[in-house]
Structure 1
Amino acid sequence: MEHVRAFEDQERAATDWAWQHDQPAGLGTGTLPSGRWWWWPLSLEEGPLALLGVRPKDGEPLPGQRRRLLAALGQPLAQALSRARLADDLEAARLHGETEQLRSALLASVSHDLRTPLTTMRGAIDSLLALGDAIPPDDRKELLESTRDEAERLDRYIQNLLDMTRLGHGGLKLARDWVAPEDIVGSAVHRLRALLAPYRVETRVPAELPLLYVHAALIEQALVNVLENAARFSPPGGRLRVEAEQVGEELQFSVSDEGPGIPEAEREKIFDMFYTAARGDRGGPSTGLGLAICQGMVGAHGGRISVGDGLDGHGTRLTLHLPLQRQPDLEELDAGA
């Protein structure tokens, strides 16, 4: 053990000296020649980039011709290392710039998404406080419903931010259970009833669909995000269709709209975090987290999301693909209940 430690200390001293002085060290040199390795700095004008170490099989110092050959071969290697380091530095600078740009976009979008419902809620509450009983009952009810709807909207934004944080740090836990697809669709549509009111919403969910073994709240949230995205890009009075169907070994939820659609070249990008905010599309400012979260939630279940054309060849169709499991026996479900 002492021999190993002495060897390690001797070679470490040789490498340190070669690096600091940009000169060869070790076996066959004037510095620590008793070592077993010959160390040659791979250097350019800015100094050493790496060390080339050679240990002869016979333990004898390398002949001068062999050392000159290795030194010559080390020059293009040093240049290649320098180019690789430069490429890494440029990529790091680019990523830093993109990170700062995305951070700015996120802050601006989150600020807008949180402020908008708060402004509406404050206006309704101020009106109720200032006018009180002077407000007709129907108008008072409308103001209260508006406050409730904006509070629900604010809750969805905050939930998306929390979900994105959990996805990014691997903290999203799946609490799977058996659930009927029609329950997920019904609950998602009900949660967005106020947002979907201006549109003609059609649901197509056959009663005989197999059960899903999923974390129901997460899949429901993913469908809510897709529905909300479709409504945001749909014209007033436009059609929205929500479907669930079995295709092979998958259960597919799809949402189709009559909006402007998504060009082929951009269909993969819509799942990038902050993409909507970065491109400033006509749907209005948004964090762009909704679809990125959908991708994470569905992916955590072993599924995926695809993009296609919407109703009658117009708009967009987003489909959530979820793998089906072996269906449980009724006795198993009763025992679990």
Structure 2
Amino acid sequence: RAADAGARQHRTVLDIGIAQWAFDRAEGAGLGTDTLPASRIFYLPLVAPMRTRGVLAIEPEQRHWMLIPEQRQQLDTFAALAAIALERVHYIEVAQNALVNMESERLRNSLLAALSHDLRTPLTSLVGLSESLAGSRPPLAPAQRETAMLLHHEALRMSALVANLLDMARIQSGEVKFNLQWQALEEVVGSALRASGAQLQGHTVRTRLPAALPLLRFDAVLIERVLCNLLENAAKYTPPGARIEIAAALRGAWIDVMVCDDGPGLPPGREEAVFEKFTRGERESAKPGVGLGLAICRAIVDAHGGRIHAAPSPLGGAAFVMTLPLGTPPAMPAPETEG
């Protein structure tokens, strides 16, 4: 009890305001200094190479000790060594945490890649067999054909989920080779709309692309994957009949490509979280998916030197904006003249 009472007494003596001043300015304050010299305590900041790590509060038995240059020099040296020690402890913890996170991520990606690879072959067979079954001759009875089509649809959905898992693992491991070519944005938008046609049924889809857009340098297959993921995401989280729009706009040395809808939008504060792996737009959602589509989009766009973010839609729902650099397309060869 006596020790606790002594600790409380010292806490009441310490002036947090003076300590904060010394910490913020990395200067000594209190006893023996020009700042509040009437204080009984000397506040000495622990200044490390990267930042100030704390404040050492000293209440000497003899006040005149703080006026002795040798005594002050010893305190400064002690404070510097203590600050360096604290900083080393901090960075050791940071390095250990980073190493654990990197190893955990590597193991998770290896596991995902192995599982996805092993599941892809039987799923491909299942997709083909179910399609053959639905179109077999003589024709199946209506109830049997409906069952076969449902099996085919679910096999396609599972195959797409496995493809997402495998692609995420490949992108993060650096195994994906980018085929960067100068090409028209309109073409990849059209191919993405065709590829997502089944998921977009029942929705009103509109494109708004400026005329005479410049050529962009990107991997057409991967950027089509980004647009397909964004379109399918919009279709998944909006009711039937909802409007979905693809728009583009030039902005300085960049181009913004936006996929937006008039659905319910994103939950407040989730605009950045939805890009994390295994994160869904709606918690505990019954909608299919494992929460990798937007993470794959960000990984692909980042690899192209661009950015992608979520924002409120001008249509009233959610919007996802992909920003890509324009670059300088190569000059077109001069036409040959007849000689």
1:4 is aligned to: none
Match of 2:140 among 105, 130, 135: 135
Give the corresponding residue for 2:308. Answer: 305
After superposition, the Cα gap between the structure-2 partners of 1:127 and 1:242, relative to the gap in structure 1 and judged at 3 Å, is: same
Deviation at 1:269, TM superposition (A): 1.4
Distance 2:304 2:335 in 1: 21
1:49-83 deviation per Cα after TM superposition (whole angstroms, max 9, x unaligned): xxxxxxxxxxxxxxxxx9xx99xx87996898589
Give matches, 1:132-171, under 5 Å: 133=138, 135-136=140-141, 140=145, 149-171=153-175
Shift of 1:256: 0.7
How many angstroms apart in 2 are the aligned matches of 1:307 and 1:241? 15
Match for 2:318: what amino acid? Answer: T
Number of aligned positions between the proteins: 253
Aligned partner of 1:326 in structure 2 is 328
Given that 1:182 and 1:207 are in contact with CA atoms closer than 8 Å, whether structure 2 keeps it comes out as no
- Higher relative CO (Cα under 8 Å, sequence separation at least 6) belongs to 1
Asked whether the 8 Å contact 1:160–1:290 carries over to 2, the reply is yes
- 1:146-202 deviations in whole A, cap 9, x for unaligned? 555545434432332222112222223221112211111111111111111122222
Matches within 5 A, 1:101-116: none
Q: Provide the C-alpha distance between the structure 1 equivalents of 2:272 and 2:141, rounded to a whole number of angstroms.
A: 50
Query: Which residue is equivalent to 1:290?
Result: 293
Q: Measure, in 1, the Cα distance between the counterparts of 2:335 and 2:246.
A: 27
Q: Distance in 2 between matches of 1:139 and 1:255?
A: 38
**Structure 2 counterpart of 1:242:** 246
Greater alpha carbon shift after TM alignment, 287-296 vs 315-324 = 287-296
Assess if the C-alpha contact under 8 Å between 2:238 and 2:263 holds in 1.
yes
| TM-score relative to the length of structure 1 | 0.58
**Pairwise CA distance, 1:254:** 1.1
Counterparts in 2 of 1:23-34, with a 5 A limit?
none
| Paired amino acid for 1:135 | L
Higher helix share: 1
CA shift at 1:251, angstroms? 2.3
In 2, are the aligned partners of 1:218 and 1:297 still within 8 Å (CA)?
yes
Q: Which amino acid aligns with 1:211?
A: L
Q: 1:208 to 1:134 in 2, by over 3 A?
A: closer
- In the aligned structure 1, how far is the partner of 2:80 from the partner of 2:286? 53
Tell me: CA distance 1:218–1:93, structure 2 relative to 1, closer, same or farther (3 Å): closer
Paired amino acid for 1:327: P
For 2:253 and 2:213, the matched residues in 1 are separated by 12
- The normalised TM-score by structure 2 is 0.58
Corresponding residue number in structure 1 for 2:259 = 255
Structure 2 gap ranges (5+): 1-69
Report the CA distance shift for 1:281/1:212 in structure 2 as closer, same or farther (over 3 A).
farther
Relative to structure 1, the CA distance from residue 249 to residue 264 in structure 2 (aligned partners, 3 Å threshold; closer, same or farther) is: farther
Q: Which one-letter code corresponds to 1:290 in the other structure? A: G
Residue 66 of structure 2 is matched in structure 1 by none
Instruction: Kindly indicate whether residue 185 of structure 2 is the aligned counterpart of residue 181 of structure 1.
Output: yes
- Name the SS of the counterpart of 1:312 in structure 2: coil
Q: Is the 8 A contact 1:149 1:194 kept in 2?
A: no
Hey, what's the Cα distance between the residues in 2 that align with 1:204 and 1:326?
24
* Counterpart amino acid of residue 253 in structure 2: E
Please report how far the alpha carbon of residue 306 of structure 1 lies from its aligned counterpart in structure 2 after TM superposition. 2.1
* Percent pairwise identity: 37
Q: CA deviation at 1:128?
A: 4.7
Native 8 Å contact 1:261 1:316 kept in 2: yes
TM-superposed CA distance for 1:236, in Å, is 2.1
Query: Does residue 212 of structure 1 match 2:216?
Result: yes
Q: Structure 1 counterpart of 2:224, which letter? A: E
Other structure's SS at 1:265 match: coil
